[in-house]
Structure 1
Amino acid sequence: MIYSLKGTVQQLNPTSVVVDVNGVGYFVGISLQTSEKLTLGEATFLHIQQIIREDAHLLFGFNTILEKELFNLLISVNGVGPVSALIMLSSLSIDEIANAILSGNSLLLQKVKGIGAKTAERIIVDLRDKVQKFSVSGENISNFADNKVKDEALSALEVLGIPKKTSEKIADRLLKTTPAYSVEDLIKQILKNI
Structure 2
Amino acid sequence: MIAQLQGKLVEKNLTDVIIDCGGVGYFVEISLHTYSNIPEGENVKVFTHHLVREDAHRLFGFVDKTEREIFRLLISVSGIGASTARTMLSSMEPDHIAHAIANGDAKTIQSVKGIGAKTAQRVIIDLRDKIIQVLDNPELTVVASNTGREEALSALETLGYLRKQAQKVVDKILSSQPDASVEQLIKEALKQL
TM over 0.5: yes
Q: Deviations over 1:47-69 (max 9, x none)?
A: 11000111111100111001101
Q: Which has the larger radius of gyration?
A: 1
Amino acid at match of 1:77: V
Helix, strand or coil at the partner of 1:130:
helix
Shift of 1:176: 5.0
Shift of 1:117: 1.0
Is 1:113 the equivalent of 2:113?
yes
Q: Deviations over 1:120-141 (max 9, x none)?
A: 010000001011135744758x
* Structure 2 partner of 1:37: 37
Amino acid at match of 2:29: G
What percentage of residue pairs aligned between the two structures are identical? Answer: 47
* Structure 2 partner of 1:129: 129
Q: Count matched residues.
A: 143
| Structure 2: unaligned runs, 5 residues or longer | 144-174, 178-193
Counterpart contact for 2:14–2:35, Cα < 8 Å = yes
CA distance in 1, matches of 2:6, 2:117: 39
Show structure 1 runs of 4+ deviating over 3 A: 134-140
| Structure 1: unaligned runs, 5 residues or longer | 141-174, 178-194
Helix, strand or coil at the partner of 2:37:
coil
Is 1:62 the equivalent of 2:62?
yes
CA distance in 2, matches of 1:14, 1:135: 32
TM-score by length of 1: 0.69
Counterpart contact for 2:74–2:85, Cα < 8 Å = yes
Is 1:10 the equivalent of 2:10?
yes
CA distance in 2, matches of 1:98, 1:126: 13
TM-score by length of 2: 0.69
Amino acid at match of 2:38: L
